[in-house]
Structure 1
Amino acid sequence: MNVVGTDHCPFLWEQKLMGKEDFSKIPNGHPAVEHRMELLFSEGVKTGKITLNKFVEVTSTNAAKIFGMFPRKGTISIGADADLVVFDPNKKHTISAKTHHMNVDYSAYEGWELTGKIETVLLRGKVAIDAGETKVAKGYGQFIKRGKTAF
């Protein structure tokens, strides 16, 4: 395993049902980006299927290398962007469409109990998310031009 990502497509359940009679009409993808890191930690690291180092590789370092953004992204080092998460490895929580922040009315992981929760997200060194609340203004994101792959 080199990298983990999602085909995050937050179609509403009603939109997904367009393919009820013809699967070719189902909009592709599913909403998962909000829970990707926590799912992989809980179901991978906590169950002993992957190491903590592998978790960091497949969620951060390798993606930055594949997309030619390393070492600006994917590492904690001088000159990097300081995109970090503060993660509580022991916090238990349950995934639910009622509590997630994605603009979608269902979760394929509804009711899953996880161990490990992102508490704070820093984007370019600034607190962007804290305790589930957005702390940066709309438009704070920044386009990063891809470079050559670092693999």
Structure 2
Amino acid sequence: MQRSAGNGGLIMMHAENGIAIDVLVEQALAAGHTDPRYHGEVRRELLEAEATHRAIQLARVAGAPLYVVHVSAEQAVAEIAQARDLGLNVFGETCPQYLFLSTDNLAEPDFEGAKYVCSTPLRPKEHQAALWRGLRTNDLSVVSTDHCPFCFVGQKELGRGDFSKIPNGLPGVENRMDLLHQAVLDGHISRRRWIELACATPARMFGLYPRKGTIAPGADADVVVYDPHDRYTMSARTHHMNVDYSAYEGRQVSGRARTVLSRGAVVVDRGEYLGHAGHGTFVPRATSQYLI
């Protein structure tokens, strides 16, 4: 953190108290609690909030900026909000799984809950209201995915009989924009806020603006033509991610990208990939535009 305070870097922090969680995992397994739902029960909300508070205070001492990734608990949002009210360089992100899924999914029977094991873990539905409120008030500045897919067959199954051995992570990068657009239709956020959370703010936060994150002369002409009326059902049978299940199987949403341009070239049109190997290019990043 002291090094970042001096060179303009931005610390990205996964905030959980791992030492305490290790103790609770050991105790849960010893008591015969092996099902996936216990992954969420041992990684308690207060341990996320405590680690968030601790990271903020250490960053204050070091004079460093702090970006707290995949915030899931109401208490952690409160810690970030308090820091921002003090004018500190503290930022938070959340992910679609925390906005649309919950511990009810972790508790699905027949080991189906393993599909939803990620860290920070899914929380009870009551936490979702605080996350949405944080996105509206800018106490949470970004919605990312923390996309980390493991197949259910042969990978998630490694944790049968021991939830601590279930590979952590969910597939979701293909679903983020559409889920957030549905949130616009459901009244959680505005259409302008949808673009800020998913496109404009990340580009500025991570030093890619103005090459990315805007449609303007000199920018990269990365453009998505979005059809807000294209209603479809999310499913592993139709998604493009290389994983054998969908965390949002059967969920209906309205809105889907129709055409995607990368640096002015059409790479996707009506669900068909038109890109080619070699089109990608290295994009150097600068310092965050949000640091004061």
Q: Same fold (TM over 0.5)?
A: yes
- 1:36 counterpart letter in structure 2: R
- 2:262 counterpart letter in structure 1: L
Quick one: structure 1 residues 26 and 75, their matched pair in 2 at CA, closer, same or farther if it must change by over 3 Å?
A: same
Q: How far apart are the structure 2 equivalents of 1:143 and 1:109?
A: 32
Q: Which residue of 1 aligns with 2:165?
A: 25
- Structure 2, unaligned runs of 5 or more: 1-134, 136-140
Q: How far apart are the structure 2 equivalents of 1:142 and 1:21?
A: 45
| Deviation of 1:91 (Å) | 1.2
Say whether residues 1:69 and 2:231 are aligned partners: no
**Structure 2 counterpart of 1:40, from 180, 191, 196:** 180
Task: Give SS of 2:245's match.
Answer: coil
Q: Deviations over 1:78-135 (max 9, x none)?
A: 1111111111111100001000111111001000000111111111111111111111
Identity %: 52
Q: How far apart are the structure 1 equivalents of 2:208 and 2:176?
A: 20
Q: Which residue of 1 aligns with 2:198?
A: 59
* Structure with higher RCO (Cα < 8 A, 6+ apart): 1
Q: How far apart are the structure 2 equivalents of 1:127 and 1:36?
A: 21
Q: How far apart are the structure 1 equivalents of 2:156 and 2:148?
A: 11
**Structure 2 counterpart of 1:99, from 230, 238, 243:** 238
Task: Give SS of 1:13's match.
Answer: coil
Q: How far apart are the structure 2 equivalents of 1:119 and 1:31?
A: 21
Count of aligned residue pairs for this structure pair:
150
The RMSD of aligned alpha carbons is 1.1
Q: Which residue of 1 aligns with 2:258?
A: 119
Q: Which residue of 1 aligns with 2:276?
A: 137
- 1:118 counterpart letter in structure 2: A
| Deviation of 1:139 (Å) | 3.6
Q: How far apart are the structure 2 equivalents of 1:17 and 1:140?
A: 37
Q: Whose helix proportion is higher, 1 or 2?
A: 2
Q: Which residue of 1 aligns with 2:289?
A: 150
- Structure 1, unaligned runs of 5 or more: none
- 1:35 counterpart letter in structure 2: N
Q: Deviations over 1:42-101 (max 9, x none)?
A: 1x1111110111000000000001110011100111111111111111110000100011
| Deviation of 1:24 (Å) | 2.3
Q: How does 1:69-88 map to 2 (within 5 A)?
A: 69-88=208-227
Q: Whose strand proportion is higher, 1 or 2?
A: 1
Larger Rg belongs to: 2
